[in-house]
Structure 1
């Protein structure tokens, strides 16, 4: 096992308007927007509005640049990166846990996917140098938050181009309210034969969260868990046991719950398999809204979604 902490990259400041939901279009009616705004105003609102910290937290598996080897008919990373950038710059999450944002050699080209995304979106970022954990960086809006600590833990090593599985974390402080909270990010083993690995990873994730956050500060867990969000999923069992719940189940204000979060490079895959999730600390985070973002316009690349996963996010208030 490896572990590293308190390593931060330079902060980058961004537009502090974090309340804007996506621009309406034909599929998003005024009534839906009113529902979301109403939820933000009335659902589990904190008693002291002056010190409330509301955050939009996203999870986004952007898919490795290795895709050009395994599936060359899919647009390459340079093209997909523009679509990913446009998704992020439209949704404008306050914090994003990325998965498969690789530093990876593919043929004669060395890709730095997380750095590409940071450069095009102007978010601050924590990305460990270790090859296993560098694939799961955490980004945040530097104009809203400052990072006071960060670290990672390796669950298992694997050879190139897979590298292995790990988790990363940052502790953020609101520049407006001084509220502190944690964000944990991970990516579990995939495949039908990966159940034993996912069980082990879920247990290690829960143990590391407990170690890093013994005082129970408000916290979010983002990730591609590669197991549908059911009561028997390993992430559900282990995170529920330490007081974290899936944000999806904490609000009735949802957009596109009828689509899978894994889209296979299609523009919307019908189904209820949500393998990408944002968990929240049940005791001190109130959830107002959840969305599975459907790419459109300049977010679409060659008629496809810019990744084989959708970005999902939740809007929540730290109590």
Structure 2
């Protein structure tokens, strides 16, 4: 493993990051990132923290620094995918399409380094009682919610594994719990393959029904809880373009099935001249089996 900038887990000191928190990795480790990049909104103006044309170069720079092997994005509109791809650079492929019945909706796309990871299969489903019905929402959520999964073979290790990426509902707790149960059931269907889950869960780690379902014995472990080493302080993952809060709520997680070694994990509060690429902070981990 190579480039890393690590900060002690300590309270009371704000440490803004301007370089890579983890950066490219060598050897057998997989660098996994989950990132709600915040959808593009036409009503914003230049200079607004939320204005996508101002955020796009920041996102490109951050992704260029970090170079994750796997990236699960949330809230990505089709118009934003080029910015993600440009930041990652050549050699990356993507799977995932709109959550709506047209191409204009939000995506939970998975980007992967195709120079190392061979895509074996992938699919997208809706978090509802009719998971193959495009745009369906039956669990109390007003907007459709999706999950995307992809199965890969790692050319470095020969290991076959699954990456699942999702975005839970922001209003309905019952919908979040049902979504968590659907993910556990889907993971069980992969016949014992290791599974990585990335997402914006709109629920607090350690204090929500969704997190409890996903981290119950035999299901998944939260990388923040199992890491051997922290790559950041315990920042909340939804600073909303404000200064990050240490000890704030973690609503974005990376989860893994039992048997996964988590070498490093952190929440990336990268900033350039006080500007942030998104209202969320990405979470990252280096894992291996």
TM tier relative to shorter chain: 0.7 to 0.9
Q: 1:171 and 2:164 equivalent? A: no
Q: Is the 8 A contact 2:44 2:51 kept in 1?
A: no
* Structure 2 SS opposite 1:114: helix
Q: Aligned partners of 2:176, 2:42: CA distance in 1, in Å? A: 23
Task: After TM superposition, give the deviation of residue 209 of structure 1 in Å.
Answer: 2.4
Partner of 2:35: 60
Partner of 1:184: 164
More displaced stretch, 150-159 vs 257-266: 150-159
Partner of 1:287: 262
Partner of 2:10: none
Q: Aligned partners of 1:155, 1:197: CA distance in 2, in Å? A: 8
- What is the root-mean-square deviation of aligned Cα atoms in Å? 3.1
Q: Is the 8 A contact 1:172 1:181 kept in 2?
A: yes
Task: After TM superposition, give the deviation of residue 72 of structure 1 in Å.
Answer: 8.7
Q: 1:117 and 2:93 equivalent? A: no
- Return closer, same or farther for 1:83/1:118 CA change in 2, 3 Å cut-off: same
Task: After TM superposition, give the deviation of residue 252 of structure 1 in Å.
Answer: 4.6
Q: Aligned partners of 1:178, 1:87: CA distance in 2, in Å? A: 29
Name structure 1 gaps, 5 residues minimum: 1-18, 41-51, 104-111
Partner of 1:43: none
Partner of 1:307: 278
Higher helix share: 1
Q: Is the 8 A contact 2:72 2:165 kept in 1?
A: yes
* Structure 2 SS opposite 1:197: helix
Q: Aligned partners of 2:67, 2:196: CA distance in 1, in Å? A: 17
Higher strand share: 1
- Partner of residue 100 from structure 2, selected from 102, 126, 131: 131
Partner of 1:219: 195
* Structure 2 SS opposite 1:173: strand
- Return closer, same or farther for 1:248/1:180 CA change in 2, 3 Å cut-off: same
Q: Is the 8 A contact 2:99 2:144 kept in 1?
A: no
Partner of 1:109: none
- Partner of residue 259 from structure 1, selected from 235, 241, 253: 235
Partner of 2:287: 316
Q: Is the 8 A contact 1:22 1:91 kept in 2?
A: no
CA offsets 1:250-303 (integer angstroms, 9 cap, x no match): 025113333101110124233331110000111x21111111112133xx5xx3
TM-score, length-scaled by structure 2: 0.80
More displaced stretch, 196-205 vs 90-99: 196-205
Name structure 2 gaps, 5 residues minimum: 8-13, 129-134
Partner of 1:272: 248
Task: After TM superposition, give the deviation of residue 64 of structure 1 in Å.
Answer: 0.6
Task: After TM superposition, give the deviation of residue 130 of structure 1 in Å.
Answer: 4.8
TM-score, length-scaled by structure 1: 0.73
Q: Aligned partners of 1:61, 1:83: CA distance in 2, in Å? A: 14
Partner of 1:210: 188
Partner of 1:92: 67
Q: Aligned partners of 2:246, 2:6: CA distance in 1, in Å? A: 22
CA offsets 1:13-50 (integer angstroms, 9 cap, x no match): xxxxxx33345799599xxx9xx9xxx9xxxxxxxxxx
Q: Is the 8 A contact 2:55 2:278 kept in 1?
A: yes
Q: Aligned partners of 1:120, 1:258: CA distance in 2, in Å? A: 26
Task: After TM superposition, give the deviation of residue 153 of structure 1 in Å.
Answer: 0.9
Q: 1:21 and 2:3 equivalent? A: yes
Q: Aligned partners of 1:70, 1:81: CA distance in 2, in Å? A: 14
Q: Aligned partners of 1:114, 1:241: CA distance in 2, in Å? A: 36
